Structure 1
Amino acid sequence: MNQIARLAGKESFILTRIELFNWGGFHGLHQAAIHQEGTAVIGPTGSGKTTLVDALMTLLCANPRYNLASTGGHESDRDLISYVRGVSGPGDGGEGQSHIARPGKTVTGIAATLEREGQQVRLGALLWFDSTSSSAADLKKLWMFSDNPTQTLDHWLNIWHDGGARSLKQMEKETTGIWIWLNNKKQYLARLRDFFEVGENAFTLLNRAAGLKQLNSIDEIFRELVLDDHSAFDRATEVANSFDGLTEIHQELETARKQQQSLQPVALSWDKYQKQEQQLADRKALESLLPIWFAQQASQLWREKVSHIEVELGESQTREEQIQSQLELQKKVVTDCLQRYLQVGGANIDELNERIKDWQKTLGSRETLAHQYQQLTRNLGLPPDLSQPQLEANQHEAEARCEQFADDIKLKQEEVYQKGVLSHRMTEELRERETERAEIARRPDSNLPAHYQAFRSELAEALNVDESELPFVAELIQVKPEEAQWRGAIERAVGSNRLRILVAPESAQEALRWVNQRNNRLHVRLLEVKLPHSPARFFDDGFTRKLLWKDHPWREAVKALLVENDRHCVDSPEQLRDTPHAMTVQGLMSGKQRFYDKHDQKRLDEDWLTGFDNRDRLNFLAKEIAALQEQVKTANAAFEFAKGEVGVLQNQAISFQKIQQIDYDSIDVPGAKSQLDALRERLENLIRPDSDASVAKANLMRLKRLNLNSISSSEPPIKSLMGWIQNSPQPGQQNVRPSKLRKKVCRMKSESCARHIFLWWLWFNCLTFAIWNVNMSGEFNKKLRVLKVNCID
């Protein structure tokens, strides 16, 4: 609170408001109120905090260093041009510019308001370019200081727009409490220092302090910005150097203390290291003896197990030979029974079963196709009966309908094409209008169509002049607001002269040569400027009296042009009849006696081109775009509807074509049912229980079941052997079940095969144990190495 009271004292000016217009990323007028107790400027990166501070520094410093708060207070990566143009990098037009917000003619305004006990002062600046240049030499600067409360940034901008810097200088002469300097910042800053009673480095120090994020050299700041007397600098340097020796001594003491603390854990870990070393030697000795002992024990156990398995293998082989003999005998009996079954009619039964299955599939297929055919005929309004005569009648009707549909589809497709062309043309016209609106918005000082302005830009480039030196007549005149009801009639009266470009005499020959040698794709109208010797004299009641004339060097030439087409403004057709060269507010015009015209090819409120800005053109384009959007929507809907109609007709034509392609045999369900019933009746006669074929089939099935039972009785010995293999314990508490070994045992035919398999089994178990032992030894060695590292550290 004491600091606030001190800052708000009788001798201190407090910043209360900052105003910006087209400054950096701030487009248009922005105002920031500053509270007397302090205001925090916060926001994400790129939100404009530093941009706001740099505006204030521009008003206070001779050579402000911009963007210091963002770069840490060491360097300036922006300049005044970049803030006026609204670019992200420097405003020199180089490759560093990623985006230019205001590339053409533009003006920037900044102002700061300071107050002290009711007294108010305002600092301001207007910066502008009259062309597309980004050179510092082309930047115009106007510096202002005012203690008159009525003088505001908004007021200065309005005066500048009306008459430029000349009007502002005139205001300075006519108004008290304001001082203006054109392109002379030195005198402006001298006025500020005298008024605020500060030294030359005060505002520069403020600029540096506003951008500080870290202090790399406070000596540099005080030497450059605070201290004026340099006589004590050498003595201060000697005193500062005397502290360097103390710093080195303190660092050596700290290093010794850290070394003592780091050696203390070594003594504590040495005993633990020796114990771990002894345990490691014991484990290595055990590691060398353990595989030999395990191999001896495993060899003895496996020899005993192999002997037991060899006995069981011999018994299993004997049993297998007996079962094989029985199997061969039973196969012979089964063959005899099969021959008997076939002789008494078994072959016919199998054949009938196969034919019945085939006809069942055929019946299912025909029922599916018949259902689809009947559904199709109902949808098309045809009789759905499943008979060959009705199918032929439907196919004849389908052929006639297909011919009719072909003609209808052709007509509809032509209609779809026409509507598609209409929709495309309207869409293209809408896109052109939207493109023109974007181009017009980029040129706020003209109300002309975009393609005329583009032609003017090409001509200016060819003549190497600024576009402002090639104005259209329409850009230099504007109907007075109080005469707005005459706007449409005046536009018609001026006529094509609105699109006439004024060319300086020294550029006329080159302009004619350039226009003559190219296809310009529009009606080009040029006027070589020749200023009249005397002012133009308009009719007292002529439409030229209702115009405002833009402040331009060639304004008198435009007046001389329009005075030739001036018309009397009358209130009624009766007055028009008696007045040559007159016109009414509705657009009716008279020429010489007995000649009258009214150009109603367009509405009176359309195609307005005059004016000092682009508002009328933008409003006209907005209305046209809205109307075209509705037309495009309607045309697209009609196009989609026509496409849908074509799709419906094509689907119906395809359905009739399917009717033509149907074969009666594919939907003959009654015929398939009768054939299936006949086959089933023949099968029933053959498979009656008292028939010879049924008795022979029963004997055949009984013998097959007997053979299967005999083969199954030989499996228990082999299953016992496989159970032992699957349940064998393995090293490391793991149950290994090798599927390859199980298959080999089931197929083995001799004693040598059995020995081979079980020797492989023994080797597998020994290898598994060795791998387990190596893994355990590796883990122990790893722990010991970690302990050694800890002791060394």
Structure 2
Amino acid sequence: MTILDTLFGLIPAQSRGQQWLAEELQLINWGGYDGGPHRVRFSPGATLLCGGSGSGKSTLMDAYIALMMPHTTPFNGASNGGVSGRARSGDQRNILSYGRGKIDESRTEEGTRMRVLRGDGRDTWTAVAMTWADHDGSRFTAVRAWYIPASARALEETVKVRGVVDGPFDLADLEQAAAQRLAAPALRAAGLETMATDREFLARIYSVLGIGAAGSGAKAMGLLARIQAGQQISTVDELYKRMVLEAPETLTAAEAVVAHFDELDATRERMVTAQKQVRALAPIRQMRERIEQAGERLRLIDRIGSFSQAGSRAALWRHERRLGLLREVEDELHGRKREADAVLREREAAARTAQAEYEAALEVVRHSGGGRLEAAERELRAVERRLEDVRRARERFAEATACLEARVTTEKDFAALARRARAELDRPRGRTALRSAYAEARARATALRRDLEEAQAERELARGRQDSIPTRLHDSRRMLAEAAGLSSSELPFVGELVEVRAEFEPWREAFNLALGGFATTLLIDAAHLERFREAINAVRTPARLRYEGVHTGLERRGEPDPRSLPGRLDYRETVFTGWLRDRLEQQFGFICVDSARELRDHPRALTLTGQVSQGGRGAHGGQGGRNVLGFSPHRRLEELDREISALRERAERAAREQERAEEDLDTMEARHGACARVLETDWAQIDVASVERERQRWSGVIAEVSSSSPRIAELQQRCAALQARVDGLREGIGRAKARQEQVEAQWAANTDAVDEAQTALDEAREEDGVILSEEEQAYLDGRFPLEEPAGTGSAPSPAARLERFDAALSTASRLVEEDRRSAMETVGQQREALRRTLEVFLDTWPNPSLRADPDTSLKDFERILQDLETSGLHELEAQWRNSLLRLSGNDLTNLDSSLSRARREIQERIAPVNRIMEDLPFYDDDHRLQISLHENQSEVRRRFRRELREVRGLIDAASSDAQREQAYGRMSRLIDRIRRDAPDVATLIDVRTHVRISAEKVHARTKEHAALYDHIGEKSGGESQELIAFIVGAALRYQLGDADAARPRYAVVFLDEALIKADARFTQRAIGAWRGLGFQLVIGAPNDKYSAIEPHVEAEYDILKDTRGRSWAKPKVALPGGGAVGQDGARGAG
């Protein structure tokens, strides 16, 4: 038996366990490998592929990936290191670019164009095949081929072939099939057994080659792909997690939990939406019913017609109803007539009897002296009436003349008062003077109030401005600016641009006097001057303004003399400032002096009081004027406050003077009125004393007569009683006659009305044939009821009912019109409400096939409502929420279990890997390498796990809708934390982040700790490669499913640009580690970095490329009887 002598001991070359080794790789039209087939035979131990950058090393390894890996596996990092995107997308190396042999890209008139070795404007094809050999001589070949039409832009547009052969296979046999676009019959004729899908193809390969345990071949191939990619890794933790551990099932479980919850919640949302839609559409039925009822009422009113229309149903009903009432009234009046006649006869008989008794008693009084007494009593009554009139006249006279303060008790007093009144009325001058004084006081008060209001308005405007210019000038400036299309800043006053410096504040009044009208001059850019003049020519302003065109943007020169007026001012920075400073220095450069004696010392000077001198000329006076300088409103506001205070005081004083003048005038007017009343009055009209004396005289006469005849009083009383009785009976007779006449008149009128109503009714029935329906009769009876409402007392009489009916008919047309208008308003309101309801529904749930039109779409919305109610979806929300809580709660429980299980699986994954490495010497024969795992403590993760359990408990304990709603809210927030885009989802769900993995070097015999391997970057390149080889190789043995076998069932491992940083010693140990684990290595390395690898391989190829972009593999250390054979026998088409 042949024994392999390795670093790790003697290993039998022939093992009873099955082991598949890569024997040969074939390529046709793959990348730079044009034509073919190109063949690369591999050593059972290790094969080296070396070449320059871009020569085609990675192209060979990508061929292996294209053959063995799913389409989601990206091609090697060396090929795609500078690009990003989806694996094998248009931005990366892909099947189309390899099949056409892409060289580079060039820019043409049509755009970017790809330069290729083949397939430019014509169809091409490509194929990759690998043959494996077992120790017992068995062969197995897998083939992938693609027919690429010239128009193909995506892999889906190609013809894909997936095939296997239980034995060797020559890709040259596909030439004839390629001519037939790789048709299935041609492939079968060539000896290929084809599969329809990648899943079937890879499952067949994994099954035959024994890749992966229990169907986990995809995981093993994924690990092989990561090993081949040769990723840069800095820590053992990262190495193990990226190279050995796949994505944990917890990520899938979390996504399933989220998807299940979203699916259930979406159904719940549909239920909630259905609820909202039912609530939104439920009112439309009542609205439709109201519209239909109002429409029916309108049609009914139209059929009834107008009461004023002779042949209408309304008129017919009126005639029928009124005729019935008139006949009832006729019967009532007949009875009342009999009653009135009997009452009249009774009262006339009683009156005749009482009159006879009265006349007899009166005769007795006359014989007893009653004539004189009767006359005295009659006179006394007349005097008492006159006394009452005189007293009222005296009271009115006293009230009218109270302002004269005169006491009038006799006719003499009255005459004196009349003389005074006439004399006062003859003096009109005093009255005229008072009227003039009142008019002057009123005018003065009104003027001061107006001045105060103007000052207050001026202050309000000044608060919003940054200057001291009066409002009238501002308003005038605004009118000119609007006419010229300019802003206020483009048309400033000089006073707005300057301010007196604080230290020279006492000079403010002097500067205002010196500048004079120049301070209120408008400045305008000379470029706008002509246009400005034309624009304002027709404008009328309240104040006359001066303006001057100036050159803007002039530079500021040096600072002016601080003794001069310009030097004691601050300037606002504008485009006008440069010109303004020049003008002030030229025209107003007055030197400020302290006394008038110093004026002669300067050509131009100014005193504090405002006197100026200019040589022999000068000016003075005008103090107390308004300040117009400054770009701050504070001083102007202070002036206005003082002015307003003074005006308010003067206005109050003037108001008091007006009140006094008005009081004086009112007093004078009252006295003149009283005097006129005195002259209009006669003493007899108000002489109460004379009338009282006359009353006393007649009272004495009556007393005298009564005392002389004692029985007269008794007889008079009897006469008075009899007279009163006679008068009462006569009044009763009058009332009875009036009642009788009234009843007779009513009976006559009622009889005429009965005849008229009967005639009208007969004519309506005979001529028009109108008949009232029950509905019309019920409407009119209900609209014009004749009976009193229940509970209001006794029933009304027929006459009252008729009166009430006539009163109702007087407004019948109005009432019916109100009904019509109300019905129309109901239709309009309900249609508008219906339209708004439909609009709100469509705004909330848009539907392009529906319109918010009550006329055209109402039935569609009612059908939607009926469908919703029929489905009952809106009634199941509470039940569904409970089910959602229960099901999602179970999902959370399963997720919690998955987290614990995935954590255990990591530990369980490490154990077999450690068992494999227990038999492999590491560093030397006395040491071994072991993987250790440590928990990463995280308070966030602990709280998350605790919340998982709490939410589950909360769901179980929820017994009311409020508790279930609370549980649902917490569960929803919890699930949001495990969504894919959640910020901490990896920390919570990816159990790989829950642990920290490191490697330990231990003593082989005692298992004692010797060294810790955590950060790979801290080790040398060779040490790193040896460490990676041990860890990844052992994990690969486990992943391939034959950890307990003498050697792996699938031995092929591709390493792209690996082992290039190690020296000879560590390279030997790394390769020895791989081979000691029983793997067959295919190593890619650049030309300048393979020297340490070369002594440890049995086969070596130089990868070459010519100037046309064609690549081939040239054997450097060939296997016996083999090599790389191309189309031309030496290097293919190259």
Q: Highest relative contact order (Cα 8 Å, sep 6+), 1 or 2?
A: 2
With the length of structure 2 as denominator, give the TM-score of the two structures.
Answer: 0.33
The structure with more helix, counted as a fraction of residues: 1
With the length of structure 1 as denominator, give the TM-score of the two structures.
Answer: 0.46
